[in-house]
Amino acid sequence: MGENKNIKLKLARIQKNLSQEQLAEVVGVTRQTIGLIEAGNYNPTIKLCIAICKALDTSLNDIFWED
């Protein structure tokens, strides 16, 4: 991820009608953590990536794979 914003995560979250806070509650992190991931300023663990993908009903490739 690095300096690239994770637009795919934000779009998937919005499609599920979830706020950052709601997604954070589901996966067990803070809203700030979700915001940092979306901004490209935090590299989540694989465990957190999987939890996020399950919550958004999507795959790791769809959200975290860079094109």
Of 15, 60, 51, 17, nearest in space to 33 by CA: 51
- In 50-62, which positions are buried (b, 16+ CB within 10 angstroms) versus exposed (e)? ebbbebbebeeee
Q: Which domains does the chain have, with CATH numbers?
A: 7-64 (1.10.260.40)
Give tens-digit pLDDT for 3-39. 467 899 999 999 999 999 999 999 999 999 999 999 9
pTM: 0.89
Q: What is the pLDDT of residue 2?
A: 46
Q: What is the pLDDT of residue 66?
A: 76
Q: What is the pLDDT of residue 8?
A: 94
Q: Is pLDDT larger for residue 66 or for residue 67?
A: 66
